[in-house]
Amino acid sequence: MKILSVTTSFCLLGVAASVDMSRYSAGPGVNPGFKSYLKELYASAEDPSATKTFTNFFTTDGQLIVLANTATGSDQIIALKQELLPQLGNKHWNHIPNVTTIASETSAKKTYQVLGVIETTFDSGNCSQAYYSSRFTVTKDASGLPQLTPHAGNLVSYDDFVVNPSKSPTSIACGS
């Protein structure tokens, strides 16, 4: 029901973006709250007009890393986001995350690893997909719990360390 209502509200907004959590699976140690955190993070990433609603996930010196590009702090993060997904709104992303595991954990931070597929559609173009591996590092609170409130300045890094193929459109049709 929840997924249906979220999908509906995206449609009502006329936004072609969507986050498909149907293939999401959480391995040992992945906090239940990470699923909705990830979904909200992707929804903000997929919104071409989102600036603060995306950067407010990050710590002040948080980083968005996409392969060889590293953006540090909100100004650079917005610039990199807009380079990848133009504000014009003529390019659309759909994230379809699947296997989610813990990459590392310290007393201060926890890093989740997420695999998945990203679909890219250009207006008047085709829909093509790429395969990704990402790591998300969040801060922990004083009691040692990872901070998984969306839009609350707890994301230390969002690191897309694999995007294959790296350039879109790709030659792989969506849904293959």
Binding site for ligand NAG (CB under 6 A): 23, 98-99, 115-117, 125-126, 128, 131-133, 169, 171-173
**Do residues 67 and 160 touch, judged by C-beta distance below 8 A?**
yes
Q: Return phi, psi of residue 112, to 5°.
A: -100, 140
The distance of closest approach from Cβ of residue 110 to ligand NAG in the complex, given in angstroms and rounded to an integer, is: 21
Report the residue number, 23 or 52, with the smaller CB distance to ligand NAG: 23
Q: Return phi, psi of residue 77, to 5°.
A: -65, -45
The distance of closest approach from Cβ of residue 116 to ligand NAG in the complex, given in angstroms and rounded to an integer, is: 5
- Other C-beta atoms closer than 10 Å to the C-beta of 8 total 10
Report the residue number, 15 or 172, with the smaller CB distance to ligand NAG: 172
Report the residue number, 84 or 99, with the smaller CB distance to ligand NAG: 99
**Residue bearing tokens 């085709």:** 126
Structure tokens at 155: 């994301």
**Do residues 115 and 135 touch, judged by C-beta distance below 8 A?**
no
The distance of closest approach from Cβ of residue 26 to ligand NAG in the complex, given in angstroms and rounded to an integer, is: 12
Report the residue number, 86 or 125, with the smaller CB distance to ligand NAG: 125
Distance CA 110, CA 1 (A): 30
The distance of closest approach from Cβ of residue 150 to ligand NAG in the complex, given in angstroms and rounded to an integer, is: 23
